[in-house]
Amino acid sequence: MRNEDKKIPYDKDLVFDVRGLKTYFPIYEGTFKKKKVNDVKAVDNVSFNVRRGETIGVVGESGCGKTTLGRSIMRLTEPTGGEVLYNLNGKMRDIRKFDEKEIFDFRKEVQMVFQDPYSALNPMRKIYDSFAEPLKAHGIETKEDLLMVMEDRLRRVNLRPEFIYRYPHEFSGGQRQRLCIARALAVSPDVVILDEPVSALDVSIQAQVINLLQAIQKELDLTYIFIAHDLSVVEYISDRIMVMYLGHIVEYADSEVLNKNPAHPYTKALLSAVPIPVVGRESKRIVLEGDVPSPIHKPSGCPFHNRCPQYLGDICKEKVPEFKDLGGGHKVACHIYD
Ligand code: SF4
């Protein structure tokens, strides 16, 4: 047993336990770009966990670090600091310490669906070839077995099995995203990270894809990490939601609690922009002043202080708010609750 395994209590329902994750991108200057002058702090000290079978939503404006967060916990982008513990073969291990074999097993168990279904599929290759590559890498070799798996996955996303002999340009945006979902399912993962899976699609198609994702999750007992900028979509599919701002998590709560009782001023502003589907009822829109600050030069104290409608003065400008537990797993980082 490795030392790190001894220290970490095992919880069979825990899939990910992320502790103080940081992902920074260094900025270099000088003639040979050798002098490091600063960092883009895309993900800054983020902690959360993911339990088996749940959907955890990550929401925030573009540029808040949510995609980098997804890529960091897949190790597609190398984290700078912190730990990303993953339950591999019954042991919580830091993915940054995985050897090659463990990374290979991890990538089979955790798959990712990307935002843009147009660039996710190679236009020069038939769907069969795009699907065959990961399957062969994971030991499914014979044409008979390959076809059996591919046809099963296409049926699960409501596409016809013969589509595997076509090229990506022969499909609509919604069909392509369903193909990407089918390909992610090909190697029978336990966890799927969905990065803005519906934002490139028409509104009418978005609902179909979301409903399909929910049905597949139930059938295959999957765990989802669902990343999106649209809070109404995230709320609809998620059990728990984390709200991100400028690389930090500012609030987490159960989906229903967040909807009925948002605590952070930023969450309140996001929620106020969600249309209420009741005739005659309108929500009072909270319009945030100013632009999102640069993740290179973050504001001191609370990262939201220069846009916050409930700004409390010096304390917000000078002191980073810590998380307060409001009960029932609802946590918020804001001085209002000190
Ligand atoms: Fe607003 Fe202050 Fe709360 Fe930050 S800590 S969200 S600035 S009230």
Chain segment 235-285, per-residue pLDDT in tens: 999 999 999 999 999 999 999 999 999 999 999 999 988 766 655 556 678
pLDDT at residue number 296: 87
In the sheet that 81-88 helps form, which strands lie side by side, from edge to edge? 35-51, 14-29, 81-88, 91-94
209: alpha, beta or left? (left if phi > 0; alpha if psi -120 to 50): alpha
pLDDT at residue number 287: 79
Residue 113 three-state SS: strand
pLDDT at residue number 193: 97
Burial state string for 269-279 with b = 16 or more CB within 10 A and e = fewer than 16: bbbeeeeeeee
| Ligand 1 pocket check for 337: Cβ under 6 Å | no
Average pLDDT of the chain, as a whole number = 90
φ, ψ at 191 (rounded to 5°) = -125, 135
pLDDT at residue number 276: 65
How wide is the angle at C-alpha 31 spanned by C-alphas 27 and 34, nearest 5°?
45
Task: Give me 83's structure tokens.
Answer: 């730990």
φ, ψ at 233 (rounded to 5°) = -70, -45
Burial grade of 284 (CB within 10 A; 0-12, 13-18, 19 or more): exposed
Q: What global pTM score does this model have?
A: 0.91
Which residues sit opposite 38 in a β-bridge? 27
Residue of the CA atom closest to atom 6 of ligand 1: 334
| Ligand 1 pocket check for 248: Cβ under 6 Å | no
| Ligand 1 pocket check for 315: Cβ under 6 Å | no
The low-confidence residues of the chain, meaning pLDDT below 70, are 1-10, 275-283
